[in-house]
């Protein structure tokens, strides 16, 4: 029986010879070993939960918007919140304050070219938040004015390229508000087939369809 050191020596010699032969073959054929693609570093994802303990007005958030300055605006069933990544500022309805929220139930949020916010509310119509003054302006239904909002139950908002505010109401169809027509008040135009053209958050409404 051969000693163990001799067996190991022979095995090492065979491995070296095989490696040399492969190197000679590569040199003769010009072939190169396939390059190994670098493996990118995987960055873990971390989720942070913001709750009423952190100052959130209410735990049911209906809409979220990140504005041009980076703030997160959260529309809840009980107020509007602005989150800067560290703390939350609340906006709530205040009775008797005409420059405050008319309704705490916020369905949708949109930002216009002037960096002002537009809110679709339940029972409060449309609200415009002015960034410069930190005040709210209301656009509500007035039965004595044909050019007022058709319904105060607004579920969806869209701002088009001309700056007009399209409002999908719960029960009175689609309205379009042009704030430039009447400075300080705005003017509302009616959509066709109002009672059949209700839009709720882009979803199909039973019996009403999608326009």
Q: Is 125 helix (H, G, I), strand (E, B) or coil?
A: coil
**What are the distances in angstroms from CA 115 to CA 67, 111, 132, 163?**
7, 6, 9, 12
Q: Which positions of the chain have pLDDT values less than 50?
A: 4-16, 183-186, 192-211
**Model pTM score:** 0.68
pLDDT at residue 5 in the model: 45
- Return the percentage of the chain with pLDDT > 90, whole number: 42
In this structure, the number of other CB atoms found within 10 A of the CB of residue 149 comes to 22
- Helix/strand/coil (H/E/C) assignment for every residue in 127-195: EEEECCCCEEEEECCCCCCCCCCCCCEEEEEEECCCCCEEEEECCCCEEEEECCCCCCCCEEEECCCHH
pLDDT of residue 148: 86
Place of tokens 């869209």: 158
pLDDT tens digits, one per residue of 57-90 = 989 999 999 999 999 999 999 999 999 999 999 9
pLDDT number for residue 98: 85
State the DSSP code for 182: S
Tell me the pLDDT tens digit for each residue of 113-141. Answer: 999 999 999 999 999 999 999 999 999 99
Domains of the chain: 52-196 (2.130.10.10)
Q: What backbone torsions phi and psi does residue 25 show, to the nearest 5 degrees?
A: -65, -40
Residues in the chain: 211
pLDDT attached to residue 10: 44
pLDDT given for residue 45 in this prediction:
81
């Amino acid at each position: 029986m051969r000693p163990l050191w001799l067996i190991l020596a022979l095995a090492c010699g065979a491995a070296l010879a095989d490696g040399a032969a492969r190197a000679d073959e590569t040199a003769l054929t010009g072939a190169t070993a396939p390059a190994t693609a670098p493996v990118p570093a995987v960055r873990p994802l971390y989720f942070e939960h913001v709750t009423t303990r952190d100052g959130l007005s209410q735990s049911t958030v209906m809409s979220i918007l990140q504005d041009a300055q980076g703030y997160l605006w959260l529309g809840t069933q009980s107020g509007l919140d602005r989150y800067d990544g560290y703390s939350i500022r609340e906006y709530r309805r205040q009775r008797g304050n005409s420059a405050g929220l008319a309704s705490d139930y916020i369905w949708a949020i949109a930002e216009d070219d002037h960096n002002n916010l537009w809110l679709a509310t339940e029972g409060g119509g449309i609200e415009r938040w002015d960034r410069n003054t930190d005040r709210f302006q209301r656009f509500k239904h007035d039965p004595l004015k044909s050019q007022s909002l058709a319904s105060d139950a607004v579920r969806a908002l869209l701002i088009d390229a001309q700056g007009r505010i399209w409002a999908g109401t719960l029960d009175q169809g689609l309205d379009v508000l042009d704030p430039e027509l009447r400075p300080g008040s705005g003017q509302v135009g009616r959509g066709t087939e109002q009672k059949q053209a209700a839009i709720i958050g882009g979803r199909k409404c039973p019996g009403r369809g999608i326009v």
